[in-house]
Chains A and B, each alone.
Chain A
Amino acid sequence: MTGNHVKRRLAEDIFFKGMVCLFAFISLLPLFLILYYITKNGIAVIDWDFLTSLPRPIGEAGGGVFNAIVGTLMLIILSGVISIPCGIAAGIYLSENKAGKLASGIRLSVVVLQGTPSIVIGIIAYIWIVAPLKTFSALSGGIALSIMMLPVIVKTTEETLKLIPYHLKEASLALGVPYYRTILKVILPSGISGILTGILLSVARITGETAPLLFTAFGNQFMNINIFKPIDSLPYRIFYYAMSPYPEWHSFAWGASFILVVLTLVLNLIARGISVKWKTRF
């Protein structure tokens, strides 16, 4: 009787462990399938021409995504320029003011902004920039993406700086170094790896964002580097090609996806490398 009872419990134990392993590995299946599809279909279309030429109308063979690559890089730079300084400054503010009304207001706003759906941010950038300027533009896309980057940068900056020992700040202040120089020359450099990691991760995140670009940067089948004109981007190009009825464009979508995934993976890898290699030893 008790023997059976114990046997049943042990069987249950083994069964549960088996199920956990099974389910954990089933969830990897989609990842492998996605990576497999992207690689197989992507590599098939990627060549020098694909990387360096512009999209061509349907019917004409060849063509590429050069303008989309340039556009994505421009959007990254634009949004970085807008959000990085402000995000770092706000992060410093939070790490320097742990309590206080403004600090808790900022923390709450960061949480809400981070959770705001990207499509809503697209609408906002449309209303703020596209509607008054009466044209889709790289600028409006950059602003939409910078709103998405901002909370990530604020949060990682705050979390990084919070870990820096207080005695470093005191060491600097005791040398007669003014507060602002202490922050800029001692505290920030000590946290540089964490902050850079946060920036790269936020860039990786926005690089693949499509929804905020639908009514802002829009898309552009021509080359454009004017920030007041619509601009192409890899995610938008993927969307555009994927939703088209032409098989040739579908394969282009896979090619662009391959580039995009490699780009985000590389950004993630660099971020991880920086956080390990440049880590400040206290």
Chain B
Amino acid sequence: MSGTVSNTFQDDMDTQGKSIPGSTDRSEKRFRFILALCGSLIVLLLLAILVTLLVTALPSIKEFGLFFFIGKVWDATTETFGALPFLVGTLFTSFLALLISIPFSLAISIFLGEYFKEGAISGFLRSAVEILAGIPSVIYGLWGLFLLMPAVRFIEMKIGVAPHGVGILTSSLILSIMIIPFSASLGREVITLVPGDLKEAAYSLGATRFEVIKNIVIPYARSGLTAGILLALGRAIGETMAVTMLIGNSNFLPTGIFSPANTMASVIANEFAEATGVTAASLIYIALVLFFVTMIVNIAGTYVIHKLSIESSKEVS
């Protein structure tokens, strides 16, 4: 770490002919040191989080190893811990939520990025999306309990399955509402960035607006839209409160979209406060997995955005 810190003292550079005495000002060095220190602290924080999770999960990792991921039974009384139900629960709810949200977030992106770039309606829609993003998760959960849950229960009774009201579908619905703002705002940005001359070229060939959107805008903005979806997925996977309140807290492998379940995040929220010993270690093991999964998804999303901004800056020059 100290090597990287010291190369920031740019003023103290060596010069060929005559060495320029760098500023000997103590306070300047101290200042640069503090900046680098605070920066390093963030890296250290991340490493410390990683190490903490690894070390405290170790008893469970030792005991269950990779079987943790295929074990179907989660039972604290017999100290048998398999996380498969929660992995399935997480994947199921997140991807279902993603599926539900994509048409809506895409519609908002196209609406704001193509049809109505400016004006009152677009300003209104944009603020609405921002407000949606700012509403706390626990309030989504509360609302879901009193509106979505009865609605789903009603459907369940109509089609004749056990009327839990809570479960995978209810959680996916609330999640899809919560992640729309994330993919929509990034989607709007990339759609706005599509060069006007490309679109004009297509119009001049007689294409309709729909054809331009389908054949020019969407393909051009594809990687940005993908990044938005990835970041939204990251959110959905890690989302805790609303899901905890609506998924039904069941540790069995989900059997369908109406069945109660648990996600990795919700099982931690439900059980960690009372857990000790191997149970706690196993929950931390889940947290570790959650940490890695969201890390990969987020790095991938950010990487796509980064590549995107490099490409667009190339085009300008």
Q: Does A16 sit at the interface, judged by CB under 8 A? A: yes
**Which segment, of A60-68, A97-105, A221-229, faces chain B?**
A97-105
CB distance from B55 to the nearest CB of A (A): 9
Sorting the interface of chain A by its residue count into under 10, 10 to 19, 20 to 34 or 35 or more gives: 35 or more
6 pairs of residues in contact across A and B, judged by CB atoms under 8 Å: A17-B115, A25-B125, A87-B38, A111-B298, A127-B284, A151-B42
**Which segment, of A50-58, A164-172, A238-246, faces chain B?**
A238-246
**Which segment, of A73-81, A204-212, A274-282, faces chain B?**
A204-212
Bound CA span A117–B295, Å: 9
Q: Given A102-B40, A123-B272, A124-B53, answer yes or no on A27-B35 (Cβ-Cβ < 8 Å).
A: no
Q: Given A12-B210, A178-B28, answer yes or no on A102-B137 (Cβ-Cβ < 8 Å).
A: no
Q: Does B208 sit at the interface, judged by CB under 8 A? A: yes
Q: Are B111 and A20 in contact (CB under 8 A)?
A: yes
Instruction: Please pick, from A31, A100, A154, A207, the residue contacting B7 in the complex, using a CB distance under 8 A.
Output: A100
* 6 nearest A-B residue pairs (beta carbon): A208-B136, A117-B238, A115-B298, A23-B107, A180-B31, A89-B38
Q: Does A112 sit at the interface, judged by CB under 8 A? A: yes
Q: Does B291 sit at the interface, judged by CB under 8 A? A: yes
Q: Which residues of B contact A175 (CB under 8 A)?
A: none
Instruction: Please pick, from A96, A117, A210, the residue contacting B136 in the complex, using a CB distance under 8 A.
Output: A210
The winner among A12, A22, A242 for most chain B CB atoms within 10 A is A242
CB distance from A241 to the nearest CB of B (A): 9
Bound CA span A109–B143, Å: 34
Q: Are A179 and B297 in contact (CB under 8 A)?
A: no
Q: Are A123 and B287 in contact (CB under 8 A)?
A: yes
Instruction: Please pick, from B46, B141, B210, B268, the residue contacting A113 in the complex, using a CB distance under 8 A.
Output: B46
CB distance from A75 to the nearest CB of B (A): 13
**Which segment, of B65-73, B126-134, B156-164, faces chain A?**
B126-134
Given contacts A31-B131, A126-B272, 14 further A-B contacts (CB under 8 A): A13-B211, A24-B112, A27-B105, A34-B139, A93-B39, A102-B36, A116-B291, A119-B238, A123-B283, A210-B136, A210-B240, A243-B245, A250-B146, A260-B136
Q: Which residues of A contact B4 (CB under 8 A)?
A: 100-102, 105
- Measured CB to CB, the nearest residue on chain B to A218 is B273
CB distance from B21 to the nearest CB of A (A): 15
The winner among A109, A257, A268 for most chain B CB atoms within 10 A is A109
Bound CA span A210–B139, Å: 10
Q: Are A93 and B35 in contact (CB under 8 A)?
A: yes
Q: Are B139 and A110 in contact (CB under 8 A)?
A: no
- Measured CB to CB, the nearest residue on chain A to B181 is A27
Bound CA span A191–B151, Å: 49
Q: Does A38 sit at the interface, judged by CB under 8 A? A: yes
Bound CA span A145–B209, Å: 46
Bound CA span A253–B146, Å: 11
- Measured CB to CB, the nearest residue on chain A to B291 is A120
Bound CA span A92–B34, Å: 11
Q: Does B168 sit at the interface, judged by CB under 8 A? A: no
Bound CA span A154–B234, Å: 20
Q: Given A179-B28, A211-B137, A260-B139, answer yes or no on A27-B180 (Cβ-Cβ < 8 Å).
A: yes
The winner among B39, B107, B234, B299 for most chain A CB atoms within 10 A is B39
Q: Does A270 sit at the interface, judged by CB under 8 A? A: no
Instruction: Please pick, from B1, B46, B130, B240, the residue contacting A118 in the complex, using a CB distance under 8 A.
Output: B240
Q: Are A128 and B52 in contact (CB under 8 A)?
A: yes
Q: Are A124 and B49 in contact (CB under 8 A)?
A: yes
- Measured CB to CB, the nearest residue on chain A to B112 is A24
CB distance from A143 to the nearest CB of B (A): 11
Q: Which residues of B contact A27 (CB under 8 A)?
A: 104-105, 107-108, 177, 180, 184
Q: Does A114 sit at the interface, judged by CB under 8 A? A: yes
Q: Are B136 and A209 in contact (CB under 8 A)?
A: yes
Q: Are A239 and B138 in contact (CB under 8 A)?
A: yes
Interface string of A28-39 (1 = CB under 8 A from B): 101101110110
Q: Which residues of B contact A87 (CB under 8 A)?
A: 38
Q: Are B237 and A110 in contact (CB under 8 A)?
A: no
Q: Does B198 sit at the interface, judged by CB under 8 A? A: no
Q: Given A31-B132, A100-B8, A118-B240, answer yes or no on A179-B32 (Cβ-Cβ < 8 Å).
A: yes
Q: Does A163 sit at the interface, judged by CB under 8 A? A: no
- Measured CB to CB, the nearest residue on chain B to A209 is B136
CB distance from A161 to the nearest CB of B (A): 12
Q: Does A9 sit at the interface, judged by CB under 8 A? A: yes
- Measured CB to CB, the nearest residue on chain A to B178 is A30
Bound CA span A6–B269, Å: 57
Bound CA span A28–B30, Å: 52
8 Å CB interface, A186-244 against B: 204-205, 207-211, 214-215, 235, 238-239, 242-243
CB distance from B119 to the nearest CB of A (A): 13
Q: Which residues of A contact B105 (CB under 8 A)?
A: 27
Q: Are A28 and B125 in contact (CB under 8 A)?
A: yes
